[in-house]
């Protein structure tokens, strides 16, 4: 007795109607694209012969068991949940017809790309809704992860446990312990992607606050540098605007900030009284400070830092009353020159001791002169016989 396929079902035919069975089998095979078989061997359309007890599958050039997976009929009694007429995986019905290859059926359908299947399509339980294991390093952003770059290495923008994007300001202290690029001391409260903010315990660059680090953190309390105080400034040390204790420059705070031009600072003992060592502008007592320090020999000090007036108190000034020979040319006077101790009445071309420039008639033969008639106190010089051959008035020769 043989079975022939009709409308995807096999029916049992009586021996008396063998001819009808043969005709029906041929017609069914032609209609379905499958095969028909003789009483001895099943022959597929491709010419493949199936051994006794096997038949051709509906949609594949392969031999299958009679009534088995691949006959196009879903047979629950055989454990089948589908039958697409072939025994291939990855097409929506597995090769054994026991899986529709859908995530959540408790079957790991690897041909469909599944790596796990926990029987549901929920995320966050170890196997994702796409049946991929939820683990750091799978390049899938699983629940609880903030990043996943496909590896478990820190320092590349995603932490080894995929819980941090390793950005300062994300509220996570990222530190791989190597002392390299990924070395945060701390991390302020999460404000990412906005810039991190200073807190009393952490600078916005994710380092511990410290006076002198060059980062101004007004919320940080500086201790051990005088009385406790918040940072007012931080330039990494003394600067024209900031003291090294991270306070603004103030003359009188006892901190000598040379970068700000201070020379001394005695605090409340700074004074502008004569002979005090530190002035209220934190400059040392000096000629030109406008204060006449008599015990230090000053005769005057008008504080205008001018060496050409009646009291030379500029750079190199003496704070003595102006005089010829002090090395400074006093304006509004008869002085033409003043070389101090180098003034001379006998040296050629020198500034004379009366602070006048060398001239014809000063008794000295200067550059360009042949002789010099001398003044009322000098005899002519430069002529053979000064008594009979005096020097011309312009010093050009003897007459």
* pLDDT confidence of residue 339: 98
Supply 14's token pair. Answer: 């009586």
Tell me: the pLDDT tens digits for 73-105? 999 999 999 999 999 999 999 999 999 999 999
Pick from 219-223, 326-330, 374-378: least confident: 374-378
What rounded mean pLDDT belongs to the chain? 86
pLDDT at 243 over 60: yes
* pLDDT confidence of residue 386: 67
Cα first-last separation, the chain = 170
Strand, coil or helix: what is 156? coil
Domain boundaries, the chain: 3-78, 359-399
Which residue bears the tokens 């312990």?
177
Q: How far apart are CA 311 and CA 231, in angstroms?
A: 45
Sheet containing 49-50, strands listed edge to edge, beginning at the edge strand earlier in sequence: 36-37, 42-43, 49-50
Average pLDDT over residues 109-123: 93
pLDDT at 235 over 80: yes
**Does residue 56 contact residue 64 with C-beta atoms inside 8 Å?**
yes
């Amino acid at each position: 007795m043989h079975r022939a396929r009709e409308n995807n079902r096999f029916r049992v035919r009586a021996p008396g109607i063998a001819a009808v069975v043969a005709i029906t089998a041929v017609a069914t095979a032609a209609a379905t694209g499958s095969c028909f078989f003789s009483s001895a061997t099943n022959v597929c359309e491709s010419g493949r012969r199936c051994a006794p007890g096997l038949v051709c599958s509906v949609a594949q050039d392969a031999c299958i068991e009679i009534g088995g997976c691949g006959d196009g009929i879903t047979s629950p009694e055989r454990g089948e949940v589908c039958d697409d007429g072939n025994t291939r995986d990855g097409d929506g019905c597995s090769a054994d017809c026991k899986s529709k290859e859908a995530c959540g059926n408790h079957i790991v359908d690897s041909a469909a790309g599944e790596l796990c299947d926990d029987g549901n399509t929920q995320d966050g339980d170890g196997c994702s809704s796409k049946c991929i294991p939820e683990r750091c390093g799978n390049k899938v952003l699983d629940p609880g992860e903030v990043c996943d770059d496909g590896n478990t290495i820190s320092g590349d923008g995603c932490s080894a446990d995929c819980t941090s994007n390793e950005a300062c300001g994300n509220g996570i202290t990222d530190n791989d312990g190597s002392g390299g690029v990924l070395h945060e001391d701390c991390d302020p409260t999460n404000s990412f992607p906005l810039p991190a903010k200073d807190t009393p315990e952490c600078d916005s660059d994710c380092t511990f606050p410290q006076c002198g680090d060059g980062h101004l953190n007004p919320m940080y309390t500086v201790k051990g540098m005088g009385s406790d105080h918040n940072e007012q400034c931080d330039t990494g040390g003394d600067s024209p605007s900031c003291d090294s204790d991270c306070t603004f420059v103030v003359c009188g705070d006892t901190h000598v900030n040379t970068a700000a031009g201070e020379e001394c600072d005695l605090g409340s003992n700074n004074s502008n009284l004569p002979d005090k060592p530190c002035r209220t502008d934190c400059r040392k007592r000096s000629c030109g400070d406008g204060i006449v320090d008599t015990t230090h020999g000053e005769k005057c000090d008008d504080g205008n830092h001018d060496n050409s007036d009646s009291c030379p108190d500029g750079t190199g000034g003496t704070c003595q009353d102006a005089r010829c020979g002090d090395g400074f040319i006093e304006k509004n006077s008869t002085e033409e020159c003043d070389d101090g101790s180098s003034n001379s009445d006998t040296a050629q071309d020198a500034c004379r001791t009366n602070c006048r420039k060398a001239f014809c008639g000063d008794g000295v033969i200067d550059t360009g002169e042949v002789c010099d008639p001398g003044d009322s106190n000098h005899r002519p010089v430069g002529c053979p016989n000064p008594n009979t051959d005096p020097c011309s008035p312009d010093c050009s020769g003897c007459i």
